Amino acid sequence: MSALRNRTAEPVPGFAEALERLRGEAAGSSGRALEQRNAAFERFQALGVPTPRVENWKYTNAASFANRPFALAPRGTVDPDLVIPHFAGGHKARRLILVNGRTVPQFSHLGGLPAGMTVRPLAQVLAETPELVDRTSVNDEPEHSFEALNRALVEDGAWISLEDGVALDEPLQVISILTEAESAFMAHPRHVIRLGRNAKLRLILTTVALGQAESLLNQVETVEIADGADLTIDRTLEQGQGRSAITRSRFVLGSRSRLQQTTASIGGSLIRHEMEARLRGTHSEAILNGLMMPQGTEHVDTLIRMHHEMPDCQSDQFYKTVADDRGRAVFAGKIFVHKDAQRTNSYQKNDSLLLSDDAEIDAKPELEIYADDVKCSHGATCGDLDPASLFYLRSRGMDEALARSMLTFAFTGEVLERIADESVDHIVRRMILSRLPGGERLAELG
């Protein structure tokens, strides 16, 4: 067993202390909830913190950012003026706001939801009707360290449920804010999202960090999309210096359902987004788009597991990467076509721009296929900006820095186009331009 031990690191005691604290607080949690926490924590300890010898963590050293003495997040508040710039989805959008992993009802705006749609703090649901969570979540024993840890230390999150046929016309935005703090802290929010048959929802998931702090955000989302339902997600993952965020999203799709997600991972010492999509009904479709843009010493990591479990489904992964300075971007996407998933159509593309010799790009586009009547392909490219295009702009009198910024911005355009919500699109464009030299001039050019 020594080989196995090499592959995981012993978790720091901070996690156990956090669990102790939650046990002490036990207010409102039933005995069973505590049992579940304990079991999940045991699982986490058994799994350990993965080292780079674990294949899925080959390019991201989890122990270096996660295995630190974090305390549970303080109950913080935020200045609303700092949050408003992150509002998206128009003035009619509904909003649920979490600060340091806990919902803050007074900031949220959830009025006028259609009948059959519920948006509640997960803590409330867990306290009152825990069986609801058991029944609907994509539940099994977590095989993933951080998911097990999340289950052990979860305090709150979003509970979003749409009954059959219910549709919300306006977007729903969930903003997860981490505050500044003196000492290092962690938050483990969990979102449970459930769309009934033919339900329809546009979701905007915004993750931001305000001010300075060392923090770990370990978020887990379980998303069920029933037959014929349609879910669109626009997601921004933004963290600051010294902050790390792991987001793990698990999707299960029913027949003729559809998922479209576009993620912008921009800024943060470490951002890792893991997605697992299981196409469990025929004729379903999953589209996962994304943009990663590490600069400075940032590290951005995306891991996708696309499981085609039933015939006649389609999937598409489209990720673009721009790595500058000493930034590092990792893309590990996998298409898994199970035995019965005949007539699968699956596509994956990862294009990368490497703008500095100190930056690094690691790509691992995988296919694992057990059905013969399929069309699966993937492509990955990596290189610098095209010298001919650069020359063209230079010959028209544009200075090199601006020309490079313009081409880089154009490179990201293909992903930006796929963002469903216009206001998110604006926010992401603003984020990108603020990171490019001469970005304000580009913004003026429109």
Partner 1 sequence: MATALETVREYTGGEYKYGFVTDIEADIAPKGLSEDVIRLISAKKQDPDWLTEMRLAAYKRWQTMTEPTWQKVDYEPIDYQAISYYAAPKIKERPKSLDEIDPEIRRTYEKLGIPIKEQEILAGVAVDYVFDSVSVATTFRKKLHELGIIFCSISEAIQDHPELVRKYLGSVVPAGDNFFAALNAAVFTDGSFVYIPKGVRCPMELSTYFRINEKGTGQFERTLIIADEGSYVSYLEGCTAPQRDENQLHAAVVELIALDDAEIKYSTVQNWYPGDSEGKGGIYNFVTKRGACRGKNSKISWTQVETGSAITWKYPSCILQGDNSVGEFYSVAVTNNRQQADTGTKMIHIGKNTRSRIVAKGISAGTSDSTYRGLVKVLKSAEGARNYTQCDSMLIGDKCGAHTVPYIEVRNRSAKCEHEATTSKISDDQLFYCRQRGISEEDAVALIVNGFCREVMDELPMEFAVEARKLLAISLEHSVG
For position 361 contacting partner 1 by CB under 8 A, the verdict is: yes
Backbone angles phi, psi at 162, to 5 degrees: -120, 125
Least Å distance, CB 52 to partner 1, is 13
CB 383 within 8 A of CB 351: no
Q: 381, 391, 400, 401: which one contacts partner 1 (CB under 8 A)?
A: 381
Instruction: Give 418's Cβ-side CA count (13 Å radius).
Output: 22
For position 370 contacting partner 1 by CB under 8 A, the verdict is: yes
Residue 1 amino acid letter: M
Q: 316, 325, 362, 414: which one contacts partner 1 (CB under 8 A)?
A: 362
Least Å distance, CB 322 to partner 1, is 11
What tokens does 8 get?
């995981």
Report helix, strand or coil for 115. coil
Nearer residue to partner 1 within complex by CB, 135 or 375: 375
Q: Pick from 289, 286, 369, 309: which is nearest to 334 by CA?
A: 369
Least Å distance, CB 84 to partner 1, is 38
Q: Residue with structure tokens 């490179």?
A: 411
Piece of 120-128, 246-254, 301-309, 356-364 that binds partner 1 (CB under 8 A): 356-364
Nearer residue to partner 1 within complex by CB, 24 or 387: 387
For position 369 contacting partner 1 by CB under 8 A, the verdict is: yes
Q: 134, 141, 368, 422: which one contacts partner 1 (CB under 8 A)?
A: 368
Q: 68, 109, 200, 378: which one contacts partner 1 (CB under 8 A)?
A: 378
For position 374 contacting partner 1 by CB under 8 A, the verdict is: yes
Least Å distance, CB 76 to partner 1, is 39
Measured N-to-C along each axis, helices 31-47 and 13-25 cross at an angle, to the nearest 10 degrees, of 180
State the Cα–Cα distance between residues 402 and 397, nearest whole angstrom. Answer: 10
Least Å distance, CB 60 to partner 1, is 13
Q: How many helices (DSSP H) and strands (DSSP E) are in the chain?
A: 12, 23
End-to-end alpha carbon distance in the chain: 59
Least Å distance, CB 279 to partner 1, is 17
| CB neighbourhood size of 367 (10 A) | 16
For position 300 contacting partner 1 by CB under 8 A, the verdict is: no
Least Å distance, CB 389 to partner 1, is 14
Nearer residue to partner 1 within complex by CB, 42 or 55: 55
State the Cα–Cα distance between residues 424 and 422, nearest whole angstrom. Answer: 5
The continuous run of DSSP H or E covering 32 comes out as: helix 31-47
| Contacting residues toward partner 1, per CB under 8 A | 3, 55, 339, 342, 352, 354-384
